[in-house]
Chains A and B, each alone.
Chain A
Amino acid sequence: MKVAYYSPLPPSRSGIADYSALLLPALRERVDVVVAEQGKRAPSADVALYHVGNDPDAHGWIVDALHKRPGVVVLHEYVLHHLISGITIGRGDGRGYLDAMERELGVAGRLLGLGVLDNLLPLLWETQPERFPLAGTILDDARGLIVHSDFVAREARRAGYGGPLWRIPHPAWPMHDVTPADDVSGDPLIGCFGFLNMNKRIPELLQAFASLRETRPGARLLLAGAAGERFDLSRRLERLGLRDGITRLDYVPEERMWSLMAACDVLVNLRFPTMGETSGSVIRGLSLGKAIVVSDVGWFSEIPCEVVLKVLVDDYEVPMLEAALGFAADHAAELGANARAYVEREHDLSHVADAYAAALESAAGGDAVDDAVLWRIAEAAAEVGIDDVAALARAARESGIIE
């Protein structure tokens, strides 16, 4: 069976590119894969697989291909407002944006969209994208859907997606010897990796860390990742008197990131609001057997409590976060062992690749199988005077015979 594979790939700097770089070799051992390239003719295949994320630059061409030829969609995050606005308004297609808003919220959505187009409302993808995910237009063309979390599965069903759906965990990177970086240290050393913005709860993290430093003056926070345009980190650090306790690094290449993570005692990965995303950074931390603190939202909530420490996003977030960081540092070995066992059990690359192959095989031939079964049932029914094919199809679907 041949699969046309649509995804950003390295050197593109995105979590989905890293994801595909990890998955592709394992998937190629199971099915025949042709990687589609932007700007080139679509490869012919039995089924097409589209990795969809929220970045219009990385995923716009993939969505275009999906609209031309429906196939299996991997929904890496549920909130796609930025993607949809980018491939509609960003291309001068305001009507497309209005259609997407209407698909989401009916006439009210269309009116809101008009408000955005006429500069009467703030840009929704910047201010409150989680309220208007706009995944509907993607789901409409999905002949099968792969998600990484129950959270996204629920949201997709709530949006009316009724087709086959597979929940396949994010694969873990096979562990190799990682030498901890020796140019960073702390007692404890707490690491936060990835793009830094309000959504990652950096202000709350800095407040909690400042409090932690009062009882643990040797603590250090490593912030590694590019900062958002409107996020003035330096001023915040100054205000909290944290200049000494912080090590700040911009984007770090993959190998360096592993090494820095390995040097940390605790990793922290906060989120709110969630866009339904899975965190490759958390998966890496679990693989390294690290104690990890996360926000109790979306996919992060689905990780077992004995594996990560989860902090609710509420009025007590900062003190709870401070306590969680301290607890994680004191129980790093135990939490780390749980993390490693969990990731080996749930995120094993070969199991993930098996699940992908099974999903793709089902998607490629599933409709034909359903049609064949229905045809024979309808034929037999017609011979005895039952010609309500729709009722037969419902019965077959309801009984689990067809999807």
Chain B
Amino acid sequence: MRVVVAAPQVPFVRGGAEVMAEDLVNALRARGHEAELVTMPFKWYPGARVLDQAFLWRLADLTESDGRAIDRVIATKFPAYCVRHPNKVAWVLHQFRQAYDYDRTELGQFSEEPFDRATRHAVERLDKVALGEARRVFATSRNVANRLKRFNDIDAEVLPHPPQTLDYRTAEPEGYVFSVGRLDRAKRLDLLIEAAKHGSFRVVIAGVGPDEERLRGLANGNVEFLGRVDDAELTDLYGRCSAVYYAPIDEDFGMVPYEAFLAEKPVLTTTDAGGPLEVVEDRRTGVVVAPDAEDLARGAAYLTGHVDEAKAWGRAGRSIAERVTWDACVDALLS
């Protein structure tokens, strides 16, 4: 099959979504398909710019290339899933959340002005049209599927994707709680940094992002910022940590818990984290606490202080993560 993976690109920003799209292309190629990543830059501000960019995707002709038909398009995010193709499959990592669950929160971008309110509804209307055209709609987590149902009345099948392919390994825990990801407010690292002031555990943070300066300002001596790390450093940090922190607000899916599990590490998360709660179960694969610094500190202290239990929970997580394979994903997406 000739398959296009359609995904937007925010220039100079690389995160889980970009890794997932590239891994999907590789997984398709590994199974003998011709696969190509097609992308366009995405800038979601100001105001109605998102609609201009959705229009670019609507105009893109991916029905054939170089005189040969493209058999399928797999689109992962807004506005890429606005592309038109008779065999479009949407595998939704997330919608444009500013128009949905982020709206009227500090993470939203639309004001109460009529222009902004109408733009938000235009995104919603467009999603309904674009996703309604897809022959199948998958969501990477139950949380994302629930949002599609709640906001757009679209039924999506849940299809989680494997984390990035790395040489995951485990080692003796060294007493630190590890966090990796883009440093922005939605990832809620300030909660972990605050928790570190209430306990004696160390925190190691890998990643860069717009919230870095503020976070550094909040941190005490227990917190170490590593900036961007390469793959080898990343697997080493996973392997040697006592637990992995991952508690964004109502996260879509999140690869981090799966990566932690493949390194046999338990995950520390919060009751409002969304997608991660589909795999992180309290005292079975990690610790789930209220989104409160003191509770988080107690959870981290437990995981760093009860090594055997933490190891057992990490191993339980590994068996979950290993069930999510590219074979299963490719079969579903091309069926």
Contact B51 A368, beta carbon cutoff 8 Å: no
Max chain B C-beta neighbours (<10 A), residue from A368, A377, A396, A399: A399
Residue of A nearest to B127 (CB): A400
Contacts of A361 in B (CB 8 A): 114, 117-118, 120-121
List residues of A (341-377) whose CB comes within 8 Å of B's CBs: 358, 361-366, 368-369, 372-373, 376-377
B131 to chain A, nearest CB (A): 11
Q: A1-B112, A400-B126, A401-B126 are in contact. Are A365 and B51 (CB under 8 A)?
A: no
**B-facing mask of A374-395, CB < 8 A → 1, else 0?**
0011000000000000000001
For A172, list chain B residues within 8 Å (CB): none
Give the docked Cα–Cα distance between A361 and B116 (Å): 9
Which residue from A372, A396, A400 sits with its C-beta under 8 Å from B125? Answer: A400
B51 — which chain A residues lie within 8 A by C-beta? 369, 373, 401-402
Docked complex Cα distance between A358 and B121 (Å): 7
Chain A residue nearest in CB terms to B49 = A376
Determine if B69 is an interface residue (Cβ-Cβ < 8 Å).
no
CB distance from A396 to the nearest CB of B (A): 6
- Contact yes or no, B117 A365, CB < 8 A: yes
Q: Report if A204 contacts B (CB, 8 A).
A: no
A358 to B153, CA, bound (A): 15
Q: How far is the CB of A351 from chain B (nearest CB, A)?
A: 11
Q: CB of B113 within 8 A of chain A?
A: yes
Is B16 located at the chain interface by the 8 A CB criterion?
Answer: no
Size range of the chain A interface in the assembly: 20 to 34
Contact B115 A365 (CB under 8 A): yes
Whether B114 lies near A400 (C-beta < 8 A) is no
Interface presence of A46 (CB below 8 A)? yes
Q: Do A401 and B58 have beta carbons less than 8 Å apart?
A: yes
Is A373 touching B118 in the complex (CB atoms < 8 A)?
Answer: no
- Please state if A1 and B117 are interface contacts (CB–CB under 8 Å): yes
Instruction: Tell me the dominant secondary structure on chain A's binding face.
Output: helix
What is the bound-complex CA distance between A400 and B51, given in angstroms?
A: 10
A47, A372, A376, A401 interface centre (most CB from chain B within 10 Å): A401
B234 within 8 A of A: no
A403 an interface residue at 8 Å Cβ cutoff? yes
Question: Out of A364, A372, A376, A402, which one reaches B114, CB within 8 Å?
Answer: A364
> CA A106 – CA B48 in complex, angstroms?
41
- Given known pairs A372-B47, A400-B129, the reply for A365 and B114 (CB within 8 Å) is yes
Inter-chain contact A366/B112, CB cutoff 8 Å: no
Are A368 and B114 closer than 8 Å at their CB atoms?
A: yes
Q: How far is the CA of A46 from the CA of B55 in the complex (A)?
A: 27
Contacts of B58 in A (CB 8 A): 399-401
Q: How far is the CB of A17 from chain B (nearest CB, A)?
A: 28
Given contacts A1-B112, A373-B55, A377-B55, contact A364 B117 (CB under 8 A): yes
Contact of B118 among A364, A377, A396, A400 (CB under 8 A): A364
**Cβ of A377: which chain B residues have Cβ within 8 Å of it?**
52, 55
Is the CB of B90 closer than 8 A to any CB of chain A?
A: no
**Given that A361-B120, A369-B51, A377-B55 are known contacts, is A403 also in contact with B125, CB under 8 Å in the complex?**
yes
A403 to B48, CA, bound (A): 14
Contact A365 B112 (CB under 8 A): no
Please, how many angstroms separate the alpha-carbon atoms of A61 and B151 in the complex?
37
Contacts of B52 in A (CB 8 A): 373, 376-377
Q: Which A residues between 289 and 309 are near B, CB-CB below 8 angstroms?
A: none
In the complex, the 6 A-B pairs of residues with the closest C-beta atoms, listed nearest first:
A365-B118, A365-B114, A361-B117, A364-B114, A400-B129, A399-B58
26 example contacts (A-B, Cβ-Cβ < 8 A) are as follows: A1-B112, A1-B113, A1-B117, A47-B114, A361-B114, A361-B118, A361-B120, A362-B117, A362-B122, A363-B118, A364-B114, A364-B118, A366-B118, A369-B47, A369-B51, A369-B118, A372-B48, A373-B51, A373-B52, A376-B52, A377-B55, A400-B58, A400-B130, A401-B58, A402-B51, A403-B122
Interface residues of A (CB under 8 A from B): 1, 46-47, 358, 361-366, 368-369, 372-373, 376-377, 395-396, 399-403
Other 6 A-B pairs with CB < 8 A, given A362-B121, A368-B114, A401-B55: A361-B121, A362-B118, A369-B48, A369-B118, A369-B122, A401-B122
